[in-house]
Amino acid sequence: MRITHVIRGEEWLPSAPLHVLLYEAFGWRDTMPRFAHLALLLKPEGNGKLSKRDGDRLGFPVFPLRWVDPKTGEVSSGYRESGYLPEAVVNFVALLGWNPGNDHEEVMSMEELIRYFRIEKCSKAGAKFDYEKGKWFNHHYIQTSSNERLADLLRPSLEAAGITFDADYVARAIGLTKERAQTLLELEEQIAYFFTAPTAYDEKTVKKRWKEDSAAQLTELAALLATQSEDLPSEATEEVVKAWIEEKGYGLGAVMNCFRLALVGAAKGPHLFDITALLGRGETLQRLQRAIEVLG
């Protein structure tokens, strides 16, 4: 079968002599593969072998893909379905029980992993499974991936949610938000308000930010924005709005926080005028009007 190496967990060590004898008995000694036995992956606490139950207990996947037990029907989540990029999982798993030494950078491409891997450098001690480190790798690879690639990866789930996919629009939304995302699921959640206007508003933010004069101020702001160009360019719109706030003597934070609440539904998101530039004038005005009507 042209198998050159058999690399497996250390629990197979007791069986290794038997396997060697079987090869010899069949007269295959000259073509027998080389056997290597790796230390096991340990629970995050370090006490015992990692199992699927640990993932269920602590809320992380232990399989690369979603898996359904054919006997029990039990479903186990996978890294792909949890929003992980394949190169992040490969990089993360490769460094469990192995490292290239010489203070080499942790982030490595597949080509670098192949170039530097030496089985002699694998640890003889078990490696604790650090799920947070896996998220760190995934965050890194999301940041370094192009917005266009990430948009393409999100396309199936966005279309399944009934969103008309516009590659350029989605890529722009991703560019504004991906800095905060550790998984593709988080990224999709963070761009959601670019496609769907708020139907409710964060209660804590409303209680803290929405005042008696907020509706009147946003009504004036809407009238001002209605005179601006349809694309609401970020820098120009910010300059106009801030000049208007200063002229009126309003508090900058008071207006901006309520403006963000109207657009996003909460006190979150990237630079406010980058949001308005992507939404455009029409959608921005509709969201302002709805917040005024709902919050009063």
What digits encode the pLDDT tens for the residues 240-289? 999 999 999 999 999 999 999 999 999 999 999 999 999 999 999 999 99
Is residue 54 assigned to a domain? Answer: yes
Do 81 and 162 fall within a single domain?
Answer: no
Domain boundary among 136, 163, 185: 136
Do 53 and 118 fall within a single domain?
Answer: yes
Q: What is the pTM of this model?
A: 0.89
pLDDT tens digits, 81-119: 999 999 999 999 999 999 888 778 899 999 999 999 999
Is residue 141 assigned to a domain? Answer: no
Is residue 220 assigned to a domain? Answer: yes
Active-site annotation, residues: 52
Which contiguous run of DSSP H or E holds residue 67? strand 67-68
How confident is the model at residue 102, as a pLDDT? 74
pLDDT tens digits, 128-162: 999 999 999 999 999 999 999 999 999 999 999 99
Do 190 and 209 fall within a single domain?
Answer: no
Q: What is the share, in percent, of the chain residues with pLDDT greater than 90?
A: 88
Do 90 and 158 fall within a single domain?
Answer: no
Do 34 and 46 fall within a single domain?
Answer: no
Is residue 233 assigned to a domain? Answer: yes
What angle (nearest 5°) sits at the alpha carbon of residue 179, between those of residues 173 and 184? 70
Do 19 and 34 fall within a single domain?
Answer: yes
pLDDT tens digits, 1-33: 689 999 999 999 999 999 999 999 999 999 999
How confident is the model at residue 296, as a pLDDT? 87
State the CATH number of the domain containing residue 150: 1.10.8
List alpha helices for 145-266, DSSP H.
147-160, 167-177, 184-190, 203-209, 214-225, 234-248, 252-264
Do 132 and 47 fall within a single domain?
Answer: yes
How confident is the model at residue 17, as a pLDDT? 96
Is residue 9 assigned to a domain? Answer: yes
Return the bridge partners of 78, or none. Answer: 63
Domain extent at residue 244: 203-295
Domain boundary among 90, 108, 136: 136
Tally of domains in the chain? 4
Which residue's structure tokens are 């192995």? 98
How far apart CA 177 and CA 187 sit, in angstroms, is: 7
Do 219 and 287 fall within a single domain?
Answer: yes
SS3 84: coil
Query: Residue 117: CB partners within 8 Å, gap ≥ 6?
Result: 94, 98, 100
83 Rama sector, left if φ>0, alpha if ψ -120 to 50, beta otherwise: left
Asked if residue 74 has pLDDT above 90, the reply is: no
Q: How far apart are the first and last CA of the chain?
A: 75
State the CATH number of the domain containing residue 85: 1.10.1160.10
pLDDT tens digits, 190-239: 999 999 999 999 999 999 999 999 999 999 999 999 999 999 999 999 99
Domain boundary among 176, 194, 212: 194
Give the residue from 113, 107, 103, 116 showing the smallest Cα distance to 88: 107
Do 219 and 232 fall within a single domain?
Answer: yes
Do 24 and 49 fall within a single domain?
Answer: no
How confident is the model at residue 47, as a pLDDT? 86
Do 241 and 253 fall within a single domain?
Answer: yes
Q: pLDDT-based confidence at 53, cuts 50/70/90?
A: confident
Is residue 12 assigned to a domain? Answer: yes
**What is the b/e burial string over 86-112, where b = at least 16 CB atoms within 10 angstroms of the residue's CB?**
ebbbbbbbbbbbbebeeeeeeebeeee
How confident is the model at residue 2, as a pLDDT? 86
Do 162 and 86 fall within a single domain?
Answer: no
